[in-house]
């Protein structure tokens, strides 16, 4: 029987795959957090979709983690419909600038 170390010697970790899976998981966590905010505001996906003039399916996709492909305006309206404010920041060269 192989030890864990021996297994990883034979099957090295693909760091690129790990990074991609981590990014996907973090997007799903963010989507879940948005869903929790919506539910705390007692707003359904259908109601939020009507406020934003998007499909309920679009709200569902955002809440399942499809945030990266969302337009900033859609995310801003999503958050504002729940009474919040969206902040978008750029980090570059050790500086952080809020752009929205």
pLDDT above 70: percentage of residues in the chain: 100
Boundaries of domain holding 34: 4-98
Angle at 30 (CA atoms; ends 26, 35), nearest 5 degrees:
145
Could you give the number of structural domains in the chain?
1
Would strands 95-98 and 89-92 be described as parallel, antiparallel, or unpaired?
antiparallel
| Spacing of C-alpha 28 from chain mean position | 5
DSSP reduced 3-state for 30: helix
In Å, how far are 3, 11, 14, 30, 69 from 25, measured between CA atoms?
A: 28, 23, 17, 9, 15
Q: Where residue 69 sits, what CATH number does that domain have?
A: 1.10.260.40
Q: Is the pLDDT of residue 86 over 90?
A: yes
Higher pLDDT, 63 or 12: 63
Give the whole-angstrom CA distance, residue 7 versus residue 9.
Answer: 5
Taking phi first (over 0 means left), then psi (-120 to 50 degrees means alpha), and beta for anything else, what does residue 42 get?
Answer: left
Q: Is the pLDDT of residue 1 over 90?
A: no
């Amino acid at each position: 029987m192989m030890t864990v170390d021996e297994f990883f010697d034979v099957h090295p970790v693909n760091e690129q795959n790990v990074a991609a899976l981590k990014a996907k998981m973090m997007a799903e966590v963010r989507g879940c957090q948005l869903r929790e905010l919506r539910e705390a505001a007692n707003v359904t996906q259908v109601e939020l979709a009507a406020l934003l003039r998007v499909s309920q399916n679009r709200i569902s996709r955002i809440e399942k983690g499809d945030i990266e492909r969302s337009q900033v305006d859609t995310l801003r309206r999503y958050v504002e419909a729940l009474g919040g404010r969206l902040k978008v920041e750029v980090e570059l060269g050790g500086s952080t600038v809020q752009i929205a």
